């Protein structure tokens, strides 16, 4: 069915069953190391902070009378009650 199984076939099967799992485990650990790096986490945190500030700038409007920040959808300033928009 498989023909003659010589020492080379046994060596090849042994290679596939021993070396391949080691390689798979090694590459998985390397990928985890890149994802879980402390430097990368700091970078993503920094990006999240900057986007948060940008969103706040977009949805907030500065009152021309008291210079305090108010929401865009609010028609009156929450600080000095002046009309905005
Ligand atoms: Zn105001």
pLDDT given for residue 2 in this prediction: 62
How many whole angstroms from 59 Cα to the centroid of ligand 1?
Answer: 16
Which residue reads 């390689």 in tokens?
Answer: 23
The rounded Å distance from CA 84 to ligand 1 centre is 8
What's the pLDDT at 42?
64
pLDDT digits (tens, 9 = 90+) for 3-54: 777 888 888 888 889 998 899 999 998 888 766 555 556 667 777 776 666 6
Pairing of strands 60-62, 69-71: antiparallel
Residue 38's pLDDT is what?
Answer: 54
Could you tell me the maximum CA-CA distance found in the chain, to the nearest angstrom?
93
Q: 69: CA distance to ligand 1 center in Å?
A: 8
- If you measure from the C-alpha of residue 63 to the centroid of ligand 1, how many angstroms do you get, rounded to a whole number? 5
Q: How far is the CA of 15 from the centre of ligand 1 (A)?
A: 75
Q: What is the pLDDT of residue 81?
A: 94
């Amino acid at each position: 069915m498989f023909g003659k199984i010589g020492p080379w076939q046994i060596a090849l099967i042994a290679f596939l069953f021993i070396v391949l799992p080691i390689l798979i485990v090694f590459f998985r650990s390397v990928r985890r190391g890149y994802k879980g790096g402390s430097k990368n986490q700091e970078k993503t945190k920094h990006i999240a902070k900057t986007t948060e500030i940008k969103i706040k700038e977009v949805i907030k409007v500065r009152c021309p009378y008291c210079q305090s920040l108010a929401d865009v959808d609010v028609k009156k300033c929450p600080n000095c009650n002046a009309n905005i928009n």
